[in-house]
């Protein structure tokens, strides 16, 4: 364009053109406007890269004008180049929201500009941004007004209204870049209701990440509920747990406890796109966060946000503790087959060797021995069971073998006495169900909470699932409580391991020193525990 204009200036006389010509003025006005927009776009990209420390930028706009073209050009050639993603920011007439895609580019900052964006009118652009498929509210959002703005008495009022609108739509980390007599950049602190000029701040991303460390008494709506099968505390839910007090004190906030609107508990996302319990409250923005932990699921992505995994837990089955075993059966089980075989083998060997030695000594030493073989065997058996026997046979080797029999019988008898004493004094239980294979072979019905049913079914091998699928029933928290209170032992209930162990140790579930419930050591499903937050919640920028 500049070459064409220069050519026209050089040969304007020969072409019969003059500077007062309307076409000439229109061309030069267009050149002046595009040059200004190019300079403005370059300044925007410069301040964006100098003030933010993100590696990956997402640029969102609908109209692909010269201004947007220049922004894209400058960002593509800045630094290492091509570290941007171009998003379609055109409004969708049906108003539908797109489920966010996974962001694999690390920390992201969004740059948004449009001819429809101004200080006074920004709602359409904000809603369009939130509908885009990769929008993450925790990221910084840079709004660029692409037309010069006049600094009048209405300016700061309109600027404050723009940020308040963003705050109400949970876009909490945002800045606004505009052109007055120079390039300006602003952000907003909602707790002081203060618009801040951050044009010369060197690290804006750090400023935005730290401004919510102190909420200055802001009231957080905290989702709180009680697990009916665990909690013994009567009365309404409150912000009085140790964790709630710690978080509220750390953030310098205040707390308002909110029970789930549907009187449920943690809830879950349903296949039809709706939600229940605290999950629904967080999705709708009815509450800000929960401090009742939940299992991390990838289905939450785009609907609610979560903390980093705090601890690893497991989903385990809780079953009836096995009954006491009789002392006789306990004794039989404690005396192993190997011990019995060893005893009888040694007993037989001793009988044979001792009888043969007696016969040999009688012949060699010419000892008078009138006892029959039967009488000798009877005396030896009495010796084995530690009965009084009078041996008159004086063969030295025979008497040495009798001594060995006495010592051996003493050891065996002491071992048997110890086993019997242990069986009588220490209670023994029948074998518990310890593995999933043993559970499958039992006749127990598998009670799975409706929010855990999908992840449980998907975790099982196909063959195993087909074997037990007809015995699976869905439970709610109330059904779990009723089954525990009524001692309905026909169910094997799937609970978090921490919950099942608490139920097993609960004094109400111990009878005469014996626990009524038992947590299977082989748990079918490991899981991570997190806390849920609404998307764009104000406290998420804090550590």
Query: What pLDDT digit, counting tens, does each position of 151-190 carry?
Result: 887 888 888 888 888 887 778 788 888 888 888 899 988 7
Q: pLDDT value at position 36?
A: 78
Tokens describing residue 86: 């171009």
Instruction: Locate 280 and state its tokens.
Output: 């629904």
Stronger pLDDT, 427 or 471, i.e. the higher one = 471
Stretch (H or E) spanning 465: helix 462-468
Strand-pair partners of 189: 194
Q: Which is nearest to 227 in space by CA: 453, 452, 529, 479?
A: 479
Which residues are paired to 275 by β-bridges? 269
Length of the chain: 543
The set of residues, in sequence order, having a beta carbon less than 8 Å from that of 437 and lying 6+ positions away, is none
CA distance 533 to 308: 11
What's the Cα-to-Cα distance from 27 to each of 18, 67, 147, 254, 358, rounded to whole Å? 13, 18, 20, 61, 134
pLDDT of 486 reads 92
| pLDDT above 90 for 9 | no
Pairing of strands 532-533, 219-223: unpaired
The structure tokens 């009965």 sit at 387
Q: What is the pLDDT of residue 423?
A: 64
Confidence of residue 18 (pLDDT cuts 50, 70, 90): low
Cβ atoms < 10 Å from Cβ of 201 = 18
CB distance 215 to 252 below 8 Å: yes
Q: Which of 315, 374, 335 is nearest to 498 (CA)?
A: 315
DSSP structural state of residue 496: E
- pLDDT surpassing 90 at residue 283: no
Helical packing angle, 373-384 and 396-425, nearest 10°: 40
> DSSP characters for 152-171?
-TTHHHHHHHHHHHHHHTT-
Which residues is 179 bridged to in the sheet?
A: 183
Rounded CA-CA distance 48/41 in Å is: 10
């Amino acid at each position: 364009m500049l070459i064409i204009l220069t050519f026209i200036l050089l040969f304007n006389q020969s072409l019969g053109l003059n500077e007062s010509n309307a076409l000439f003025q229109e061309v030069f006005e267009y050149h002046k406007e595009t040059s200004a927009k190019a300079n403005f776009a370059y300044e925007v990209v410069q301040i964006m890269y100098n003030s933010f420390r993100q590696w990956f930028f997402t640029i969102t706009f609908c109209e692909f004008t010269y201004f947007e073209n220049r922004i894209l050009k400058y960002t593509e050639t800045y630094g290492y180049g091509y570290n941007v993603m171009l998003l379609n920011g055109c409004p969708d007439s049906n108003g539908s929201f797109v489920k966010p895609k996974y962001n694999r580019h690390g920390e992201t900052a969004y740059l948004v500009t449009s001819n429809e964006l101004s200080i006074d009118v920004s709602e359409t652009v904000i809603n369009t941004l939130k509908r885009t498929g990769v929008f993450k509210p925790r990221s910084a959002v840079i709004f660029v007004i692409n037309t010069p703005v006049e600094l009048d008495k209405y300016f700061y009022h309109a600027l404050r209204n723009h940020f308040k609108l963003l705050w109400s739509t949970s876009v909490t980390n945002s800045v606004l870049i505009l052109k007055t007599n120079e390039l300006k950049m602003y952000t907003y602190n909602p707790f002081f209701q203060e618009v801040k000029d951050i044009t010369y701040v060197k690290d804006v991303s750090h400023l935005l990440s730290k401004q919510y460390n102190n909420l200055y008494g802001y009231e957080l709506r905290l989702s709180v509920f009680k697990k009916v099968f665990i909690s013994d505390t009567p009365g309404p839910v409150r912000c009085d747990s140790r964790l709630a007090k710690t978080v509220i004190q750390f953030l310098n906030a205040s707390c308002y406890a909110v029970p789930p609107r549907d009187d449920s508990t943690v809830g879950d996302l349903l296949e039809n796109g709706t939600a229940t319990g605290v999950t629904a409250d967080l999705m709708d923005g009815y509450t800000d966060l929960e401090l009742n932990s939940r299992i991390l699921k990838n289905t939450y992505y785009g609907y609610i946000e979560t903390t980093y995994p705090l601890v690893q837990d497991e989903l385990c089955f809780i079953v009836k503790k096995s009954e006491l075993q009789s002392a006789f059966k306990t004794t039989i089980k404690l005396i192993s087959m190997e011990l019995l075989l060893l005893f009888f083998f040694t007993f037989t060997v001793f009988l044979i060797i001792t009888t043969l030695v007696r016969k040999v000594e009688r012949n060699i030493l010419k000892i008078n021995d009138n006892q029959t073989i039967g009488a000798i065997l009877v005396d030896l058996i009495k010796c084995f069971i530690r009965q009084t026997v009078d041996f008159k046979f004086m063969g030295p080797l025979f008497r040495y073998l009798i001594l060995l029999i006495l010592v051996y019988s003493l050891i065996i008898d002491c071992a048997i006495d110890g086993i019997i004493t242990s069986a009588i004094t220490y209670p023994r239980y029948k074998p518990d169900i310890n593995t999933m294979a043993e559970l499958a072979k039992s006749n127990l019905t598998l009670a799975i909470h409706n929010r855990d049913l999908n992840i449980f079914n998907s975790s099982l091998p196909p063959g195993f699932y087909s074997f037990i699928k007809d015995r699976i029933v869905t439970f709610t928290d109330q059904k779990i409580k009723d089954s525990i209170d009524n001692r309905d032992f026909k169910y094997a209930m799937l609970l978090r391991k921490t919950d099942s162990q608490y139920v097993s140790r609960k004094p109400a579930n111990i009878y005469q020193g014996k626990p009524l419930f038992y947590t299977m050591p082989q748990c079918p499903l490991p899981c991570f525990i997190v806390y849920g937050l609404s998307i764009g919640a104000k406290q998420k920028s804090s550590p």
